[in-house]
Amino acid sequence: MNINLVKSIASFIGAAGLSILFGGILLLSFTNAAGKSVQLHIIFGLILLFIGVGFNSRSIWHYFKSQKGKHLIYAILIMSLHIYIIVCINYISFKNRKRIDYTQTKKFTLSDKTINLIKNKLDQDITLIMNENIHENSLRDLNELINQFKYHSKYIKVKRYHPLKDPNNAAILQRAYSLKPSHLLIVASETKGTSIDKGPLIDKGTKRITWFKTEQAIYNSLLNTINAKRYKIYFISGHGEPSTTSKSRNKPNVTQLVNWLLNENYSVEEINLNKLDKGIPKDCDVLAIINPTRRFQKNEIEIVDQYLRTKNKEGKKGCLFLALGSNYEQNHKGRWDWISTGLEELMIEYGIQFNANMIIEPTLTIKQMGMTSIYLPSNHFGKHPITEPFFHNKVSLALKGSTRSLSPPKQSRNTRRLMGLITSSTESKEIIDLNGFTNSVKKRRLNEYISKIESKNHFISIASTDPKPNSKKRKNLTADDFDPNSAKVIGIGNGLFLNSPISEAARDYFSNSIKWLTLENDLIGTGTDISKKVSFVIPENKEWIYKEIIFYLMPLFWIFFGGIVWWRRKN
């Protein structure tokens, strides 16, 4: 047989072996598992490659000793060096990565509280079992969101299944996690799993994942799965407070607020102080009194006082969230005055005085007597863990009515320190004489009455607690200088903005307050910090252009550049 024919056949076999070997390596990289198919590709490819090289070893040796062979070796070495440099750059960037979101709405960025949870609270492996049997738009959005969770924590693992494309894998996961067709995700640890349904999270029109809703759902599931302590919040009833269960439009309620708390893994219960035999339950982490309209009895006030003074099993005193409603009445002398709940006198002992004045915003329309709105821009929030996110995120808050101002007691030996949370607008007015105010409303001379009052900033919400022993002598105290085990009180001059329906800003203010009271400062957040301006922002309607540039034009640029170099060398 002609020796040249044998060498040609061997060369063809070697080239085929090289192609099969390359295909096996690609298959291994995509499947990430050395299955039988991958092993056969690599073994069979290597055998064919060795056959080709063996029959053409002398020719190959002479070729590499020639000028062309040396150029080829040089080109391979240069290419290998470039690949090595690229791999090193990618490895370094992977180990020290930083992600920048240039979208105007920061839609590809997790909220502060989610990042704090997975960075500071997550200390065990969590697996996200993801159902890929959804629309491609939803799948793309879900992958982007899950990648954000993986980016911030090494403990987040992902398993994927498709009941139609990979029924065997789906069956295995179904037996392990009780999967249902309605499930979008299962958030699972070694001992516990929480399911997330896809129905409420996927827009029926666009088939897109609602980012913030899905992030919130994963956040809540993580809290449930990692067995984080479930704090108990008791809402006081029996004094005209809004109901925590009734959804009647004719009666005030805080059901929307309660539902948000339940979604954030809190336990909520409504209690009546007159029906308690042994005081506030020992499992109470926060006592909430919102918008009472009737006076508390003496024994009820004593129960609240005892709760704030008594230490629990963890050595911590009670925590109170107190929001007095904007309610005033006409007394027997015909004069108007605030409805006294009896809690005002108790709060003086804890360093907070509810003043007898009214703060209103005269530039806004008055719909009915006393019902004015106070608009609170972000620069009126204090430097405190509860309110700092509002300042950073440029979040404003609007009260639903006029409010009382708060201040330290005028004559008190109390060593407690106050931290201002919210101050009124500079355009607000302080009304001392409620009777004169109501009369001017009736006579439609309100503007003349208000114009005589000086503008001033007033505290609308205050946090009170004891400072640490070594911090008492310092004048300027920060939130870190206060004793976490002391009784903590948050007072608000008007809590009507917490009644349903409430805004997200109102929800976040209450949620942040509860987290501060329960010492969960690292979970406080109202969303992404967008106060740090970036010089370049990608408009939402042009994001696809930049994606095309990244995925297509950048590789084409290097091909074009390499082609020019090759053409110049050839000529």
Report the C-alpha gap between 358 and 404 in whole angstroms.
5
pLDDT in tens, 424-439: 776 677 776 666 666 6
pLDDT band for 556, please (50, 70, 90 cuts): low
Q: Counting Cβ atoms within 10 Å, is residue 265 exposed (0-12), middle (13-18) or buried (19+)? A: middle
At 29, give phi and psi (nearest 5°): -70, -35
pLDDT per residue over 494-505, tens digit each? 888 888 888 778
Collapsing DSSP states into helix, strand and coil, what is residue 131?
strand
Place of tokens 């440029």: 394
Q: With contact defined as beta carbons under 8 Å apart, do 371 and 403 qualify?
A: no
Other CB atoms within 10 A of residue 182 CB:
11
pLDDT in tens, 151-183: 888 889 999 888 888 888 888 888 887 788 888
Using alpha carbons only, give the angle 553, 557, 558 rounded to the nearest 5 degrees: 130
Strands (DSSP E) found in 345-487: 353-354, 358-360, 374-376, 397-399, 406-407, 417-423, 429-431, 459-465
Q: What is the 3-state secondary structure (H, E, C) of 195-214?
A: EEECHHHECCCCCCECHHHH
Q: What average pLDDT does the segment 175-199 reach?
A: 81
Is pLDDT at 387 greater than 80 in this prediction? yes
Instruction: Categorize the per-residue pLDDT at 257 as very low, low, confident or very high, splitting at 50, 70 and 90.
Output: confident
Q: How far is Cα 68 from Cα 77, in angstroms, rounded to an integer?
A: 14
Nearest to 534 by CA among 99, 42, 73: 99
Q: Which residue do the tokens 């890929």 mark?
A: 132
List, for residues 120-140, the tens digit of each pLDDT value.
888 888 899 988 888 888 888
User: Distance (Å, rounded) from C-alpha 185 to C-alpha 157?
Assistant: 12
Strands 429-431 and 397-399: unpaired
d(Cα 415, Cα 445) in Å, to the nearest integer? Answer: 44
Quote the CA–CA distance of 128 and 158 in Å, as a whole number: 5
Among 121-125, 387-391, 409-413, 564-568, name the one with the lowest average pLDDT. 409-413
Are the CB atoms for 112 and 528 separated by under 8 Å?
Answer: yes
List, in sequence order, the alpha helices (H) in 32-152. 36-55, 57-65, 67-95, 112-116, 136-152
As given in the structure block, the two tokens for residue 313 are 């099993």
pTM score: 0.64
Please state, in angstroms and rounded to a whole number, the distance separating the CA atoms of residues 130 and 159.
Answer: 6
> For 76-135, how does the pLDDT look when each residue is reduced to its tens digit (9 = 90+)?
788 878 777 877 777 666 666 566 666 655 666 787 778 888 888 888 888 999 888 888
Sequence-distant (≥ 6) Cβ neighbours of residue 1 within 8 angstroms: none
Amino acid 413 reads R
Amino acid at 251: K
